[in-house]
Amino acid sequence: MLYLIGLGLGDATDITVKGLQAVRSCSRVYLEAYTSVLTVGKEALEEYYGKQLILADRDLVEQGADEILENADVTDVAFLVVGDPFGATTHSDLVLRAVNAGIPYKVIHNASVMNAVGCCGLQLYNFGETVSVVFWTETWRPESFYDKICKNRKAGLHTLCLLVCHLVKVLIIDFRGKKIYEPPRFMTVSQAADQLIQIIHRRREEGEELGMTEDTVCVGVARLGSDDQMIRVGTLHQLVSCNLGAPLHSLVITGRLHPLEVDMLRLNAEPNALENLHMIDSSVYIS
Amino acid sequence: MLYLIGLGLGDATDITVKGLQAVRSCSRVYLEAYTSVLTVGKEALEEYYGKQLILADRDLVEQGADEILENADVTDVAFLVVGDPFGATTHSDLVLRAVNAGIPYKVIHNASVMNAVGCCGLQLYNFGETVSVVFWTETWRPESFYDKICKNRKAGLHTLCLLVCHLVKVLIIDFRGKKIYEPPRFMTVSQAADQLIQIIHRRREEGEELGMTEDTVCVGVARLGSDDQMIRVGTLHQLVSCNLGAPLHSLVITGRLHPLEVDMLRLNAEPNALENLHMIDSSVYIS
């Protein structure tokens, strides 16, 4: 059996009891180690689970899947994923390989940023399409995430922006074909807000009608689900100068707001962050 | 401290280790018992947690919040929610009352249908706005969820349809002001598919351009995250005659499909369910 087990979002104790029982019963346990991160490292997990963990980097998962699945028809193998195995990153490829090899699989779910972000007070069913924000380079400055945010806002919906996080160095091939290893790094709420403001400035100069502005109410979240999580509600402009500390960070751009959502946002709001909200109809707010 | 603790989706062992530790340390533990359901009942949870649970019905949560929060400034109180505390149903009101009373609160997240539905193979970041489907009566046949589904599909996005579930009898006041108690019941995938088909028929008769048809590929899921979960992929027409057993059920209407999503859907597909898919551009499929 191949177990795909979500570790949740905080520390070693955020695994479910069912997940922990499965980990302890497996003969090999892999830890997916390139898309996300807990607030504790591999060693802390090994000590808590009482199991040695094998780090699975992108190469191992994408090219070495046979190694992960070896003998999984006769023994139990666990593949641990921060968050949920089918959260922001899915592991469909590994599942399909298992099925093709006649290996049964079982998913043990857990919280992911995709649902835990609801704790900021915005209703999950009012979110539109999720977007990803990557680091710009001198020659590559994609803006498609801004257009998706505006489309969501036009429909009254909030947008969860997943901010890029490389836990290991990443090979990038630049436009001249030169190989560059980008160091491990993660995008902060401040950096994401700054990129958005640059897009808004550029579009404003071009005379485009803007789907969001520097005054749009946004929510920065860091280390969601951990004991030291931070939630900061401010205008996009205010969030440029916020410092939310260690990874992971995510950013939410609000759409239409129900009064109960506004009350929840107020719990973590910067001074005057909500003063630009205006009522549009039957006590629905927008910024 | 007020703990809001997600129980996840399956049985007693789907709570996180952190959640279980908190439950066991609390002097009073409430179980929210009207919006969702595990595959085991209150007694099984009490035995596993080693704690008496106080059932919190809608009246207690909405009118009796003071009782739940009593002494929570000096002792620990837990409020248990199937799924995640901020999943499909949020408990913002209870949080706001706690904060106003000077009681600190802490959320212990878990999987909810909003993220666990990813296990059917559809990418979570390709979902649009979530919709709710309620039982029609003779005089009340809302169709707004159909319009939201079509809006999502037009943007290429999938739609999660949450199907109504009353675990207790519900008071409904009909259009003549008469009070009716509706018995506990839950909507099946088959019933939801049937309502959608009735809408499609009516709109077709009116000559409306259709955003989805009987041939649109849909996914029915039942008891997501439990040992006997069922996932059934079929055309909307096929799902009308499926029987997925006990609650809870949810229905997903697909939008544009990536080839990897199609491969995953195939694992649980009815015969010929995917034969109406056609490629629209760069190997993206739609039905």
Q: State yes or no: pLDDT of B169 exceeds 90.
A: no
Average pLDDT over residues A196-222: 97
ipTM value for the complex = 0.93
- HEC-encoded secondary structure of chain B: CEEEEECECCCHHHCEHHHHHHHHHCCEEEEECCCCCCCCCHHHHHHHHCCCCEEECHHHHHHCHHHHHCCCCCCCEEEEECECCECCCECHHHHHHHHHCCCCEEEECCCCHHHHHHHHCCCHHHECCCEEECCCCCCCCCCHHHHHHHHHHHCCCEEEEEECEECCCEEEECCCCCEEEECCEECCHHHHHHHHHHHHHHHHHCCCCCCCCCCCEEEEEECCCCCCCEEEEEEHHHHHCCCCCCCCEEEEECCCECHHHHHHHHCCECCCCCCCCEEEECCEEEC
The pLDDT of residue A171: 67
The pLDDT of residue B173: 67
On average, the pLDDT of chain A sits at 92
Q: State yes or no: pLDDT of B170 exceeds 70.
A: no
Which of B258, B253, B196, B195 is closest to B220 using CA atoms? B253
Per-position b or e across A27-41, b if 16+ CB within 10 A of its CB: ebbbbbbbbbbbbbe
- Which run of H or E residues covers position A220? strand A217-222
Given B99, B115, B261, which is nearest A112 (Cβ)? B115
Taking CB atoms and an 8 Å cut-off, how many pairs form between chains A and B? 173
Q: State yes or no: pLDDT of B162 exceeds 90.
A: yes
Q: State yes or no: pLDDT of B34 exceeds 80.
A: no
Average pLDDT over residues B177-198: 88
Q: Cα separation of A92 and A12, whole Å?
A: 25
The last residue of one of the domains, among B94, B111, B128, is B111
Q: State yes or no: pLDDT of A141 exceeds 70.
A: yes
The last residue of one of the domains, among B53, B80, B111, is B111
Given B8, B90, B264, which is nearest A109 (Cβ)? B8
CA distances from residue A199 to A141, A204, A229 in whole angstroms, order as listed? 9, 8, 29
Radius of gyration of chain A (CA): 21
Given A17, A130, A264, which is nearest B17 (Cβ)? A17
pLDDT classification of A239: cutoffs 50, 70, 90: very high
**B125–A131 CB contact, under 8 Å:** yes
Same domain for B120 and B160? yes
Count of structural domains within chain B? 2
Same domain for B83 and B135? no
Q: Whole domain around residue B252: which residue ranges?
A: 114-286
Same domain for A146 and A47? no
For helices A42-49 and A17-25, the axis angle rounded to 10 degrees is 90
Same domain for B177 and B49? no
Same domain for B73 and B194? no
> Which residues from chain A sit within 8 angstroms of residue B95, using beta carbons?
121, 264, 267
Given B16, B87, B264, which is nearest A8 (Cβ)? B16
The pLDDT of residue B151: 95
Mutation choice for B interface testing from A14, A112, A115, A263 by most B CBs within 10 A: A115
> Which residues from chain B sit within 8 angstroms of residue A260, using beta carbons?
92-93, 96
Structure tokens that stand for B28 in this block: 């009073």
> Which residues from chain B sit within 8 angstroms of residue A99, using beta carbons?
267
Given A14, A85, A109, which is nearest B9 (Cβ)? A109
Average pLDDT over residues A195-222: 97
Same domain for B95 and B173? no
Which of B57, B65, B74 is closest to B97 using CA atoms? B65
> Which residues from chain B sit within 8 angstroms of residue A112, using beta carbons?
111, 115, 124
The last residue of one of the domains, among A111, A134, A166, is A111
CB B10 within 8 A of CB B226: yes
Same domain for A141 and A269? yes
Mutation choice for B interface testing from A129, A223, A228, A230 by most B CBs within 10 A: A129
CATH number, position B61: 3.40.1010.10
Three-class secondary structure of residue A201 per DSSP: helix
Q: State yes or no: pLDDT of A36 exceeds 90.
A: no
pLDDT classification of B184: cutoffs 50, 70, 90: confident
The pLDDT of residue B271: 95
The pLDDT of residue B88: 67
The pLDDT of residue B285: 94
> Which residues from chain A sit within 8 angstroms of residue B15, using beta carbons?
16-17
**A263–B131 CB contact, under 8 Å:** no
Same domain for B246 and B129? yes
Same domain for A191 and A87? no
What whole-number percentage of chain B has pLDDT above 70?
96
The pLDDT of residue A116: 96
What whole-number percentage of chain B has pLDDT above 90?
79
The pLDDT of residue A178: 75
pLDDT digits 0-9 by tens, A164-204: 887 666 666 666 777 777 777 899 999 999 999 999 999 99
Closest residue, chain B, to A22 (C-alpha): B13
**A92–B116 CB contact, under 8 Å:** no
Q: Is residue B12 exposed (0-12), middle (13-18) or buried (19+ Cβ within 10 Å)?
A: buried
Given A17, A84, A124, which is nearest B87 (Cβ)? A124
Closest residue, chain B, to A261 (C-alpha): B92
Same domain for B120 and B104? no
pLDDT digits 0-9 by tens, B246-272: 999 999 999 999 999 999 999 999 999
Our CA-based measurement puts residue A50 at a distance from the nearest CA of chain B, in whole angstroms, of 15
Mutation choice for B interface testing from A38, A100, A109 by most B CBs within 10 A: A109
Residue in this structure with the two tokens 């401010």, named with its chain if needed: A234
Three-class secondary structure of residue A106 per DSSP: strand
pLDDT digits 0-9 by tens, B72-102: 999 999 999 999 999 867 789 999 999 999 9
CATH number, position B150: 3.30.950.10
pLDDT classification of B118: cutoffs 50, 70, 90: very high
Give the range among A100-114, B51-65, B225-239 with minimum mean pLDDT: B51-65
The pLDDT of residue A166: 75
The pLDDT of residue A173: 67
**B99–A124 CB contact, under 8 Å:** no
Same domain for A131 and A267? yes
Same domain for B136 and B86? no
